[in-house]
Structure 1
Amino acid sequence: MAAKSANLYARIEPDVKEQAERILSELGIPASNAINMFYKQIILHRGIPFEVKIPSERPVNMYDLSEEQMNEELEKGYTDMKAGRTKSASKAFADIRKDFNL
């Protein structure tokens, strides 16, 4: 007969633990239940239930650009705008947060 419970010991960065537990508390989910859900999703997906990767590109840090490079970036944006390759600011920021785990 399988055990009704098992203990899991893990080292977690204190700040990460605090932030996650604050969110879980707002959701009314004990940390142990969240961990159990995570493990069940690993089983269902037969792996990590989300994409784990290093982004191939990082956002351009505008402070590191020369004036010429800045003008090139602005020109790219202007060209995209003229060609109709645009999206709302909220969609753009949502995509950035998703792509770069922000």
Structure 2
Amino acid sequence: MATNDTVQARVSAELKADAEAIFASIGLKTSDAIRLFLQQAVNSGGLPFQPKAKVPNAETLEAMKEAENGQGTRYKNTDAMFEDLDV
């Protein structure tokens, strides 16, 4: 009979809550999701996914595109920007 071992990890409360909400929406407990992750890592011989950087939201992507195209408001310094924004 196989024995169980304990795995512990420290994560922020926000990360834990966000992940638990996702797991619950697909019918998993956090412990089930961790077991699934570990099993898939063993099955694939590595991480069971390709790590990626967080993708900027649509508003940020649009602002980046405008900046690349030379559009948008340009400021000489941060003081001028904050003055324009009434900050």
TM-score range, shorter chain: 0.5 to 0.7
Length-normalised TM-score, structure 1: 0.51
Do 1:41 and 1:49's aligned partners in 2 also have CA atoms closer than 8 Å? yes
Cα deviation for residue 49 of structure 1 reads 1.0
Percentage of pairs with the same residue: 29
Partner amino acid, structure 2, of 1:65: A
Q: Distance in 2 between matches of 1:12 and 1:62?
A: 31
Structure 2 partner of 1:65 = 67
Cα deviation for residue 26 of structure 1 reads 2.2
Structure 2 partner of 1:39 = 38
1:11 matched to 2:13: no
Length-normalised TM-score, structure 2: 0.59
Ranges in structure 2 where 5+ consecutive residues have no aligned partner: 55-60, 73-87
Q: Paired residues, what number?
A: 66
Ranges in structure 1 where 5+ consecutive residues have no aligned partner: 72-102
Cα deviation for residue 60 of structure 1 reads 6.4
Q: Distance in 2 between matches of 1:35 and 1:48?
A: 13
Q: Distance in 2 between matches of 1:11 and 1:54?
A: 21
Cα deviation for residue 51 of structure 1 reads 1.0
Partner amino acid, structure 1, of 2:67: L
Cα deviation for residue 54 of structure 1 reads 5.0
Higher helix share: 1
Q: Distance in 2 between matches of 1:62 and 1:34?
A: 36
Query: RMSD of aligned C-alpha atoms?
Result: 3.0
